Structure 1
Amino acid sequence: MAAIVLASNILVQFLFGNWLTWGAFTYPFAFLVTDLMNRIYGARAARQVVFAGFVVGIVCSLIGTQIMGEYGPLVTWRIAIGSGVAFLTAQMLDVAIFDRLRTGAWWRAPLASTLVGSSVDTMLFFSIAFSGALSFIEPANDVSWAAEALPLLGFGPLVPLWVSLAVADWGVKLGLALIALIPFRVIVSKAMAGKIIA
């Protein structure tokens, strides 16, 4: 978890096309780690792993607020707060949903918990970090650029830029949630060979 959070905090600085950063492709694997821990070791262990990732994320954010880039600090307080709130809320929700669904079909718990967790994560992070309605969080941070009205993902109805960024990020998370079912199944099968799953 710590490696995924660290990598995502570094890769979020590098753009991938118009709507994404490279961090969008690494962060969703945090849900895979949480779900693997939950399936193999139980909800308590999964929560401990989430907390470890949260601490690493906080440290990364604090360091980022001290590094100055071309337009100011690499991480603004809004981004730091949004990142922390979104991560902790979404991951804990993932743990709770997975634990509730653990006795169903093998794919149901990881898929449902990741889809809900990813959706909440995206909504919280982008709203807190970029919505003009929440500018009171960090009044000195000008996020007016994120409110620029553009076609959704370049071809849809006019929406604030941050909404397109959120939709693109959410789409990657949903796609990777489906792909992650493969390593989830393989890793759980190998780890639990001959054992009773928690």
Structure 2
Amino acid sequence: MMTVLDRRLIPSIAAMAAIVVASNILVQYPFEPFGLAEVLTWGAFTYPFAFLVTDLTNRWFGPARTRLVVYVGFALAVLLSLALADPRIAVASGTAFLAAQLLDVTLFNRLRAGSWWRAPLVSSSVGSAVDTALFFSIAFAGTGLPWDTWALGDFAVKMAIAVLSLLPYAQLMNRVKPYGAARAT
């Protein structure tokens, strides 16, 4: 039986909260290089790594502990974001994060027995689509900002990072026996 908070989850929780808070701050700044201010924000480059954290945690500790990471990371990130980012962004982020990450956990767990790359790629892709749609429509709709093009640019970056994240996922997944394998807890 799992304790209330397994200390092995603390790095995942800390990484999750740091990624979300950084993304909530960075999403407020358009990505100006190469004339892409109408298409991207800086947050597009940080948030996709939350899916890598979720998928690795799910692989190593299983869905129940990963959901705990999502809930605790969500609470910390929303509290910190309320202090460090616009409140509308904090609410949008919390809503999108919770829906997308819990969906990611469920999809990853259902697909985990297949090819090593399928579970992280599919779960991150579907989770990213849900996250992008919810976040940008809640955070920026009605503001006059180019939120629809930011959402499309953000989603394109999330997909690129989902594919690139397969490299560290492949390297890290073999360092710890996966959930369900014979091991002492």
TM bucket, shorter chain: 0.7 to 0.9
Aligned match of 1:3: 18
Provide Cα deviations, 1:1-56, integer angstroms capped at 9, x if missing partner: 12212322333344322122222111100000000000111001111111122112
1:124 positional shift: 0.5
Aligned match of 1:99: 109
- What CA RMSD, in Å, does the superposition of the two structures yield over aligned residues? 2.0
SS at match of 1:16: coil
Say whether 1:75 aligns with 2:75. Answer: no
Say whether 1:16 aligns with 2:27. Answer: no
1:197–1:165 distance in 2 versus 1, CA, 3 Å: farther
TM-score, normalised with respect to structure 2: 0.80
Percent of residue pairs identical: 53
Aligned counterpart in structure 1 of residue 132 of structure 2, from 116, 119, 122: 122
Say whether 1:174 aligns with 2:156. Answer: no
Q: How many residues align?
A: 162
1-side partners of 2:172 and 2:141: how far apart?
39
Name the structure where strand makes up a greater proportion of residues.
1
TM-score, normalised with respect to structure 1: 0.75
1:35 touches 1:110 (CA, 8 Å); kept in 2?
A: yes
2:40 touches 2:149 (CA, 8 Å); kept in 1?
A: no
1:82–1:112 distance in 2 versus 1, CA, 3 Å: same
Say whether 1:183 aligns with 2:168. Answer: yes
Provide Cα deviations, 1:101-130, integer angstroms capped at 9, x if missing partner: 111111111110000000000000111122
Query: Letter of the aligned partner of 1:42 in structure 2?
Result: G
Provide runs of 4+ in structure 1 moved above 3 Å. none
